[in-house]
Structure 1
Amino acid sequence: MKIAIHGRNFNESARPFIENMFDELSRRKVEVQLSKSFRTFLDQAGISHYSEQVYEKPEELCDARLVVSMGGDGTLLETISHVGKRQIPAIGINVGRLGFLATVSPERITDMIAALENSQFRIDERTLVEVESNIDLFDGLNFGLNDFTITKTDTSSMITVHTYLNDEFLNSYWADGLIISTPTGSTGYSLSCGGPVLVPHSQNFIVTPISPHNLNVRPLVVEDTAVIRLEVKSRSSNFLVSLDARSRIVDENTQLLVRKAGFRARLIKMKDDSFLNTLRSKLSWGLDMRN
């Protein structure tokens, strides 16, 4: 079995689990390729690994059976950007904080490796959001698993986001920004701005304003076949665009179309891992003395 591993720095408490993971992979003779940034961190932290294969750019990723993300949800989002159209299945080990997407605990790494080797898992396909523009916004990585966000760049003035669905005018959002979220991203930034939670396979996007000036403006759920066109006006003549963990400042002349990507992210889930269980554990649903 050949796998790739991407990760970020992690707390010292996770060290024995990481070391055990490499020992277990070596014992099972699993071929491993590391992302260059993660290998650099491992070397600096003094964590031994046996892999000599490294990738720096997404196109250098080997023909792996699967990709392991070692970190939190943000690391898994990065991992999905490495995989891209190749749709290699990915699994997240949570050595970060929340772990809404990266659901494998460090204590279960050995069980995870055994399950992967014996194909005792399922593939959960997730919709990606794609952004088209008249400029290259994100170095060719114009897709995301969670959301695409427009926000103001200064601390005082709102921006105006003129929004169209399939070329039909929807609304002009006077706000601090606007979020276009996938069902997967519904439990992220959109949720903190009052958006609804969608089950992962809902065929929808959520249009969520950030601190709207008009209090009667609320998040809107639209079909994911819609093409969303965005025109932004700002007193500073620029604004910030973000796609998952990637962001940059652009000017008002930037043209933006948001749609569903033509490929999907494929997340590996253990047999006892379900979205509803994650909702209850991460959002503390059901923790009521009356239950």
Structure 2
Amino acid sequence: MKNIGINVNSTKDPQYKMLDFIIKNIYSVSRDVNIKTYKDCVGLNAEESNKLDVIIVLGGDGTILNTSGKILGSDTPILGVNIGHLGFLTQIEVNSIEPALKSFFKSEYVMEERSMIECSFNTESGIKHYHGLNDVVLYKGIKNRIEKYDVFVDNKFYNSFNADGIIVCTSTGSTAYNLSAGGPIVYPSLDAFCLTPMYSQFLTARTIVLNNNSLITAKVRKNTGNIFLSVDGQEWINISGSVDVNITKSKYTRKLIRFSNNSFFKTLRNKLTFSREEGEIKKYEDD
């Protein structure tokens, strides 16, 4: 790794103390590197990303999702350093930066390639396409009553939901908004979509897990012009009129760096605070 980009969320590191600390630690491990810094993704795009061997992201999950969207089409991997709140997609905590960077430069990590999601819909100016790592969300406006959503899978009618909205997420995104809405946790390497209705009137409205090669079409039966669409929570797009939103597997993927000692289950325990006795966890980790 000779060319390293560092993208910092300035709201999480306003005085750039963590940025300086990371740069200092990188040079203490290897002097033979070129470091370029980016603040809040300014100047960062796919063409710029292709000049880099890795992008280290300082922030939380939102910063990683924002970075991923900015470099869409680039294969440059992302390594997340958590200076945010939850940081489920990040790999390095503040208290483990020095040993983590040493492991990184020794190539003691795993490169994971995560599937992404795409949504598209027609507008007066043509078809709009959006790609994300976590999810696509359709949601009613704040002043709106609940809406009726007709959902089709591979052009076959699945069900109608009277609900605030609908979430379709990747396996990676299953631990994000989907989980908050009562959806299941899905192992990140599975090629799956979760379709979760949000706060439906009906108790039987539950998540369905689908192959991510499926085509999901969501139709808003009575669109009052105050329905919003969001991809990875980065931007809320007002969809007016009667719009069919098609959701499929993206042609793009996202490479994330994971350290070998950070298993998915360890992350679940640490980030989602599963209720387990500390001694019991220690016993299994020692085994």
* TM-score, structure 1 as length reference: 0.86
CA distance in 1, matches of 2:78, 2:230: 22
SS for the counterpart of 1:263 is strand
Change (3 A) 1:79 1:170: same
Taking the aligned partners of 2:165 and 2:178, their CA distance within structure 1 comes to: 11
Q: Secondary structure at the match of 1:164?
A: strand
Equivalent residue number for residue 216 of structure 2? 228
Structure 1 unaligned residues grouped into runs of 5+: 39-53
In structure 2, the partner of 1:253 is 242
Find the counterpart in structure 1 of residue 115 from structure 2: 127
CA contact 2:227–2:240 (8 Å) conserved in 1: yes
Q: 1:75 to 1:229 in 2, by over 3 A?
A: same
Could you say which residue in structure 1 is the equivalent of 2:37? Answer: 34
* Residue aligning to 1:166: 154
* Other-structure match for 2:26: 25
Cα 1:14/1:56, change in 2 over 3 Å: closer
Tell me by how many angstroms 1:110 deviates.
2.5
Say if 2:10 and 2:16, in contact at 8 Å, map to a contact too: no
Distance in structure 1 (CA, Å) of the matches to 2:150 and 2:201: 14
Aligned length: 275
CA distance in 2, matches of 1:33, 1:62: 13
How many Å separate the matches in 2 of 1:229 and 1:214?
A: 21
Letter in 2 for 1:34: T
Moved more, 155-164 or 187-196: 155-164
Structure-1 separation of matches of 2:37 and 2:124: 27
Alignment of 1:127-276 (within 5 A): 127-135=115-123, 142-234=130-222, 236-244=224-232, 245-276=234-265
| Residue in 2 that maps onto 1:69 | 57
Alpha-carbon distance, 1:248 to partner: 1.2
Q: Structure 2-normalised TM-score?
A: 0.87
Shift of the alpha carbon at 1:254?
3.0
SS of the aligned residue for 1:4 comes to strand
Q: CA deviation at 1:55?
A: 2.1
Change (3 A) 1:65 1:135: farther
Q: CA deviation at 1:36?
A: 4.7
Shift of 1:240: 0.4
Residues 1:141 and 1:123: Cα distance change in structure 2 (over 3 Å): farther
User: Any idea what the Cα deviations from partners look like across 1:62-102, whole Å, max 9, x if unmatched?
Assistant: 51111111100100111111222222111100000011111
Change (3 A) 1:6 1:254: farther
1:126-178 Cα deviation digits (max 9, x unpaired) = 111111222499x9771111100000013341111111000000111110000
> Which whole-Å deviations, capped at 9, do the CAs of 1:205-260 have from their partners, x for residues lacking one?
00000000122111111111100111113452330000002221111333311011
Q: What are structure 2's unaligned runs of at least 5 residues?
A: 281-287
User: Would the aligned equivalents of 1:6 and 1:67 in 2 still touch at CA under 8 Å?
Assistant: yes
Cα offset for 1:285? 1.6
TM superposition shift of 1:263 = 2.4
8 Å CA contact 2:224–2:241 kept in 1: the answer is no
Aligned counterparts of 2:45 and 2:20: Cα–Cα separation in 1: 25
Distance in structure 1 (CA, Å) of the matches to 2:278 and 2:58: 35
Q: d(CA) in 1 for partners of 2:12 and 2:67? A: 20
Work out whether 1:115 is the aligned partner of 2:118: no
Give, in whole Å, the separation in 2 of the partners of 1:136 and 1:282: 43
8 Å contact from structure 1 (residues 145, 265) kept in 2:
yes
Identical-pair percentage: 27
More off after superposition, 211-220 vs 2-11: 2-11
Equivalent residue, structure 1, for 2:9: 8
Q: Shift in Å at residue 116 of structure 1?
A: 2.6
Give the conservation status (yes or no) of the 8 Å contact 1:232–1:252: no
